[in-house]
C-alpha cells in the first residue's frame, strides 16, 4: 500500500504467516534493491514487491497550467505558493523494473497495466513468481495470456487506486464476490481475492469462492506499522457510517477513499483533470501540506468499503487473529451446511 505501508509492515505480515507486500511504486531503483535486501535480512519468510506499471507522461504546458489553476483555491486555503512545473511526473518504470530484477523477490505483483511477455519471463527466470492485478475477467485473461503465475482479482470494494487498465470506469467496478468467482471459473491460475476483506470471515468467504488467498489492504490501515498521517488515521477511526467513494480528482486515476470536501468540490471537474501520474504529481504538495495541517477535507483518505471494520493492533497479531477467525467461520459454515447450525446466529 503506497503511502500507507513500508518495510516494517511487510516483515510483520510475512513473519506472522501472511505474505507481506512492499509498496515500491514510488521507490527509486536503489531503494527497491535496498529495501528488498533489508526485508530478506530480517525474515526468511516469502514476501512480495509491488510495482505500478506507469507509462512516461509528457503533458503539454496548457494542460498542466489548467490543472494547476483548478487547484489554486486549495493551495490558497493552505497558504501554499504555486510550485514550479515538475520536470518528471513519476519514477521511470523501466528503471524500477531493472532494479526489481536485481532484487529478485520471491513474488512481484503489478497493477495499472500489463507487463510485456519478456518482462514476465525475465522475472520468472530469476525465480520470482508474477502476479497481475485484474478488475475484470477480460483483464484477468490478458494477464493469463502473458504466462503470469497468479491473478489478483481486485473487486470494486477495494480501497486505494483501482488496477483497471482495459476499460476504466463503472464497468470495472465489479464486486469481489462476482469477480473472484468469474475469474476462478475461466482462468486456470490461482486467484488472490481483494476488496472488502476485513477479517477472518471475509478470508473464509473468498476461500469458499475458490480463491487461493485473500489480499487485504484497508484492514491494515490502523495497524501499528501503517505509515498514514494522523489526520487520515483519525478519519478512519471516526468514519462511522460515512461512505467511501471512487474519485479521479486527486490523482487522475480512479481510487476509492472516504468522501470529503475536495472530492465533492472537484466532482464537476474530475473528468477533466489530467490522467495519472500527472494529476497525482500536481496534487502532491497539496496533500502533503493538508496532512501536515491535519486538514482531512483536502487529504486523499484512501480506504475501501469495509473501512469501519478496521481495527488497531500490530499487523502480525491482526494476521494471526484473522486466520483464527477464518478457521472458526469455516467450522461454522461446515456445521450449517451439515444441518447442525443454529440459524438464528
Ligand atoms: C491506502 C492504500 C494504498 C494502496 N496502494 C496500492 C499499491 O501501491 N499497489 C497496489 O497494487 N495496490 C494498492 N492498493 C490496493 C490493494 O492492493 C488492495 O487491492 C486493496 O486494498 C484491497 O481492498 P481493501 O482495501 O478493501 O482490503 C492500496 C490500497 C490502499 C487502501
Element (H, E) at 184: helix 176-186
Query: How far does residue 4's CA lie from ligand 1's centre (Å)?
Result: 9
- Could you tell me the end-to-end alpha-carbon distance of the chain, in angstroms, rounded to an integer? 35
Q: How many whole angstroms from 217 Cα to the centroid of ligand 1?
A: 5
Is the minimum distance from the CB of 260 to ligand 1 under 6 angstroms?
A: no
Nine-digit cell at 3? 503511502
Residue nearest to ligand 1 atom 18, measured at CA: 217
In short, whether 304's Cβ falls inside 6 Å of ligand 1 is yes
Angle subtended by helix axes 176-186 and 200-208, to nearest 10? 30
Cell of 78: 493552505
pLDDT in tens, the chain (345 residues): 999 999 999 999 999 999 999 999 999 999 999 999 999 999 999 999 999 999 999 999 999 999 999 999 999 999 999 888 898 999 999 999 999 999 999 999 999 999 999 999 999 999 999 999 999 999 999 999 999 999 999 999 999 999 999 999 999 999 999 999 999 999 999 999 999 999 999 999 999 999 999 999 999 999 999 999 999 999 999 999 999 999 999 999 999 999 999 999 999 999 999 999 999 999 999 999 999 999 999 999 999 999 999 999 999 999 999 999 999 999 999 999 998 655 555
* Domains identified in the chain and CATH numbers: 1-54+91-222 (3.20.20.70)
- Is residue 6 within 6 Å of ligand 1 at its C-beta? no
Separation CA 212–CA 217 (nearest Å): 17
Nearest atom, ligand 1, residue 196 CA: 26
Torsion of CA 242, 248, 250, 252, to 10 degrees: 170
**218 in contact with ligand 1, CB cutoff 6 A:** yes
Query: How much is the pLDDT for 82?
Result: 85
Q: Is the CB of 155 under 6 A from ligand 1?
A: no
Q: What pairs with residue 48 in β-bridges?
A: 21, 107
Cell of 208: 469458499
Whose Cα sits closest to atom 21 in ligand 1? 217
Distance (angstroms) between ligand 1 centre and the Cα of 159 equals: 6
Ligand 1 and 49: CB distance under 6 A: no
Q: What phi-psi label fits residue 269: left (phi over 0), alpha (psi between -120 and 50 degrees) or beta? A: alpha
Query: Which residue's CA is the closest to the ligand 1 atom numbered 7?
Result: 1
Q: Hey, what's the cell of 262? A: 475536495
Element (H, E) at 128: none
Q: Is 132 in the pocket of ligand 1 (CB under 6 A)?
A: no
The pTM of the full predicted model, rounded to 2 decimals, is: 0.96
Amino acid at each position: 500500500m503506497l503511502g500507507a505501508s513500508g518495510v516494517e509492515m511487510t516483515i510483520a505480515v510475512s513473519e506472522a504467516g501472511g505474505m507481506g507486500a512492499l509498496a515500491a511504486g514510488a521507490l527509486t531503483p536503489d531503494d527497491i534493491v535496498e529495501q528488498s535486501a533489508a526485508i530478506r535480512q530480517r525474515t526468511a519468510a516469502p514476501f512480495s514487491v509491488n510495482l505500478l506499471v506507469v507509462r512516461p507522461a509528457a503533458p503539454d504546458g496548457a494542460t498542466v497550467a489548467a490543472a494547476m489553476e483548478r487547484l489554486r483555491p486549495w493551495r490558497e486555503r493552505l497558504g501554499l505558493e504555486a510550485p514550479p512545473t515538475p520536470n518528471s511526473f513519476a519514477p521511470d518504470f523501466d528503471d524500477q523494473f531493472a532494479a526489481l530484477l536485481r532484487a529478485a523477490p520471491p513474488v512481484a505483483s503489478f497493477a495499472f497495466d500489463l507487463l510485456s511477455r519478456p518482462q514476465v519471463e525475465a522475472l520468472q527466470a530469476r525465480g520470482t513468481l508474477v502476479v497481475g492485478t485484474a478488475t475484470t475477467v477480460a483483464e484477468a485473461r490478458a494477464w493469463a495470456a502473458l504466462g503470469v503465475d497468479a491473478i489478483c482479482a481486485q473487486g470494486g470494494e477495494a480501497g486505494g487506486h483501482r488496477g483497471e487498465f482495459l476499460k476504466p470506469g463503472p464497468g470495472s467496478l465489479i464486486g469481489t464476490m462476482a469477480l473472484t468467482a468469474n475469474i476462478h471459473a475461466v482462468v486456470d491460475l490461482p486467484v488472490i481475492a481483494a476488496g472488502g476483506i476485513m477479517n477472518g470471515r471475509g478470508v473464509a468467504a473468498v476461500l469458499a469462492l475458490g480463491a487461493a488467498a485473500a489480499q487485504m489492504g484497508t484492514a491494515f490501515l490502523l495497524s501499528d506499522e501503517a505509515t498514514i498521517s494522523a489526520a487520515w488515521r483519525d478519519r478512519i477511526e471516526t468514519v462511522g457510517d460515512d461512505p467511501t467513494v471512487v474519485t479521479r480528482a486527486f490523482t487522475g486515476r480512479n481510487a476509492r477513499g472516504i468522501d470529503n470536501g475536495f472530492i465533492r468540490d472537484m466532482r464537476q471537474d474530475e473528468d477533466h483533470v489530467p490522467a495519472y501520474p500527472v494529476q497525482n504529481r500536481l496534487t502532491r504538495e497539496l496533500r502533503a501540506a493538508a496532512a501536515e495541517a491535519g486538514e482531512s477535507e483536502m487529504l486523499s483518505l484512501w480506504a475501501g468499503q469495509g473501512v469501519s471494520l478496521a481495527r488497531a493492533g500490530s499487523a502480525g497479531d491482526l494476521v494471526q487473529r484473522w486466520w483464527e477467525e477464518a478457521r472458526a467461520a469455516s467450522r461454522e459454515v461446515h456445521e450449517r451446511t451439515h444441518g447442525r447450525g443454529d440459524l438464528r446466529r
